[in-house]
């Protein structure tokens, strides 16, 4: 019996047009994310006695597991968080407690946006750019390679990642080709800041 299943998207594949095209969304969700789920379930069949009972605990104890579990558990978690962070009704900036936290940590939203964009643009190869909550409830931006994420024990200092951007080429190549900078710019128009703020509040 499979432990994990592919989550449904909270919107249709064409809902994020013109920022992300429908074909990219469909392939990204049904092929790439589904592939991580399938391979994670297969890898865990060999490690059933080590499975701690949740995806988050699995990531926190990832050094106890095989590279296959690491890659695919990360891929499953990262994409699940990514899909829920997007919306066709995005607003330009967050409000409330998250906006205040961004101001405290980065000076203002423009500085945060510049920092995040620069990190994503200059991440070499494939990986993710994250907005993370630290142990003092401040915010910082952090890159991880491949399908790693800040919940893994290797990346200390993170209470929780609350926003992640997929900068693997499969996330944008059909529409943007090698223009990662245009994909990153489009990302800012489809962020669900209500969800991101909710994640931040849950860490307080």
> Burial of 138 by CB count in 10 Å (0-12 exposed, 13-18 middle, 19+ buried)?
middle
How many helices (H) and strands (E) are present in the chain, helices listed first? Answer: 9, 3
pLDDT band at residue 154, thresholds of 50, 70 and 90? low
CA of 26: how far to CAs of 88, 148, 150, in Å?
15, 23, 26
pLDDT tens-digit map of 36-70: 999 999 999 988 787 888 999 999 999 999 999 99
Mean pLDDT for the stretch of residues 149-163: 87
Strand runs labelled E in 12-170: 127-133, 139-145, 160-166
For position 2, what pLDDT does the model report?
83
Structure tokens at 156: 């200390």
Give CA–CA dist 121/181, Å, rounded: 6
């Amino acid at each position: 019996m499979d432990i994990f299943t592919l989550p449904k998207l909270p919107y249709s594949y064409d809902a994020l047009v013109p920022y992300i095209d429908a074909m990219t969304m469909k392939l990204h969700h049904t092929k790439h994310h589904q592939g991580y789920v399938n391979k994670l379930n297969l890898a865990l069949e060999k490690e059933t006695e080590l499975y701690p009972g949740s995806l988050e605990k699995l990531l926190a104890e990832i050094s106890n597991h095989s590279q296959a579990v690491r890659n695919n558990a990360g891929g499953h978690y990262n994409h699940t968080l990514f899909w829920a962070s997007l919306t066709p009704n995005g607003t330009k900036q967050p409000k409330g407690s998250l906006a205040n936290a961004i101001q405290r940590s980065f000076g203002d939203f423009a500085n945060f946006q510049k920092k995040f964009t620069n990190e994503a643009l200059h991440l070499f190869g494939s990986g993710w750019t994250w907005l993370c909550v630290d142990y003092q409830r401040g915010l910082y931006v952090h890159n991880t390679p491949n399908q790693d994420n800040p919940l893994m024990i290797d990346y200390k200092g993170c209470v929780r990642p609350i926003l992640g951007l997929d900068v693997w080429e499969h996330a944008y190549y059909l529409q943007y080709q090698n223009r990662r900078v245009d994909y990153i710019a489009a990302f800012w128009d489809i962020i669900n800041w209500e969800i991101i703020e909710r994640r931040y509040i849950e860490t307080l």
